[in-house]
Structure 1
Amino acid sequence: MIAYYKLLDLLNKRDMTKEQLKNASGISSATMTKISKGESVTLKTINAICEVLKVQPGDILEWIPDKKL
């Protein structure tokens, strides 16, 4: 599972809102909602966010193994 908590932490540290990121990167409200819910987004979206924030993908997301029961 991909988690976006690093992105949300980074936005908080930079005093940037999700709305500001959305506008600066050109991603849609629906895509921002997907990120907020931890759902999948495209590599194009990840690239746009990285360009705006000047970071690497690993700075904004993390892969977390699914728990096996």
Structure 2
Amino acid sequence: MGFSYDPLWKLLIDKKMTKEELRTVLSISPGTIAKMGKGKNVSMDVVERICAYLDCNIEDVVQYVKKES
């Protein structure tokens, strides 16, 4: 799989915030949110902006999931 953004989705639930609200506030493209939903790579700039806005650490946004061979 590679990366999972499940920690971010859980954090948004805790903060009662939707993906669309996050996208709008941070001016993230819908394509980037879609990539995150599929566990694809996004730029570190996006991750940094999310961390700064939500006042959290990178591990609160993304986690590495080892690929099965």
Q: TM-score, normalised by structure 2?
A: 0.92
Unaligned 5+ runs, structure 2? none
Q: How many residues align?
A: 68
Return the alpha-carbon distance in structure 2 between the equivalents of residues 45 and 56 of structure 1. 13
What RMSD in Å do the two structures reach over aligned CA positions? 0.8
Structure 1: which 4+ aligned runs deviate by more than 4 Å? none
The equivalent residue for 2:28 is: 27
1:1-69 alignment to 2 at 5 Å?
A: 1-68=2-69
Return the alpha-carbon distance in structure 2 between the equivalents of residues 65 and 35 of structure 1. 17
Letter of the structure 2 residue corresponding to residue 22 of structure 1? R
Q: TM-score, normalised by structure 1?
A: 0.92
